[in-house]
Structure formats: structure tokens, C-alpha cells
Amino acid sequence: MSNADKTTIKTRTFPEGAKPVVPQNNLTEAQEKALELAKKNALIAEEKNKLLEHLKTIEQLRESLKQEQARTAEMAEKALMFEAKVKELTALEAKLKNSTELEAKVKKMAELEAKVKELTEALGKISRIASAGKAG
């Protein structure tokens, strides 16, 4: 056996609960805090970038909403216009029907007037014949 195998190393023990302050990677406490601060700043910058992206998305959505609302209002306006035109066409159709009925009535009245005129003429002839028969 060599001398190295026989050598014992004694280590210090710490009281329970107490731990030694040993900086990681041989960094000083100030360097560790600076590193931690840099990491937090990077996280904050990342969150800020995400927030800006969300704000851009919100603004785009607002603009899209405004455009959709404008289209919806335009469509509602067109719908009202079309409804008014349908009512107008319905009224014109009713007038046309009345006009057609009136034309039929006018035609019938013209026929009746012609018949009355014809009968009046016939009655006039009969009256003349009767007058001539009494006179003679």
C-alpha cells in the first residue's frame, strides 16, 4: 500500500442547518446578482416583445372589427333599400292590376255605350215609323 492510501483527510462539519456560502462557478456574489439581473432583464424584454405583439394583434382585430361593422351597416342599409323596392314593386303591381281591371271596365262601358247608341237609333226609327203611321 502506498502512502496515499493510508492518509485520511479530515473535513470540517457545519452545525445543523448552517450551510457554507460557496459561490457557484467561482463567481462573486456581485457577479451572481449581475447575472441574475441580466437574466431578469432578458425575461422582461421578452415579455415586453410579446406584449407589443399582442397589442399589434389587438389593434389589427379592432380595425377588422370596424371594417366588419361598416360592412354590416352597409348590408343593413342595402337590405332596407331592397325592402322598400319590394314594397314599391308590390304597390305598382297592385296599381297595374287595378289598371287592367279599369281597362276591362272601360272596354265593357264602351261596348255598352255602343249598344245603347244602337238601341237609341233603333228606338228612334221605331218612333219615326210609329209617328208616320199615326200621321197617315
Counting beta carbons within 10 angstroms of the beta carbon of residue 70, is it exposed (0 to 12), middle (13 to 18) or buried (19 or more)?
exposed
Is residue 32 within 8 Å of 23, Cβ to Cβ?
Answer: yes
| Confidence at residue 21, expressed as pLDDT on a 0 to 100 scale | 53
What is the per-residue burial (b if ≥16 Cβ within 10 Å, else e) of 16-29?
Answer: eeeeeeeeeeeeee
93 contacts: CB under 8 Å, gap ≥ 6: none
Full pLDDT tens readout for the chain, 136 residues: 555 556 665 555 555 555 555 545 577 999 999 999 999 999 999 999 999 999 999 999 999 999 999 999 999 999 999 999 999 999 999 888 888 888 889 999 999 999 999 999 999 989 888 888 887 6
| Confidence at residue 98, expressed as pLDDT on a 0 to 100 scale | 86
pTM flag (> 0.75): no
Phi-psi region of 117 (alpha: psi -120 to 50; beta: other; left: phi over 0): alpha
CB pairs under 8 A, 24+ apart, for 122-127? Answer: none
| Confidence at residue 84, expressed as pLDDT on a 0 to 100 scale | 96
| Confidence at residue 1, expressed as pLDDT on a 0 to 100 scale | 52
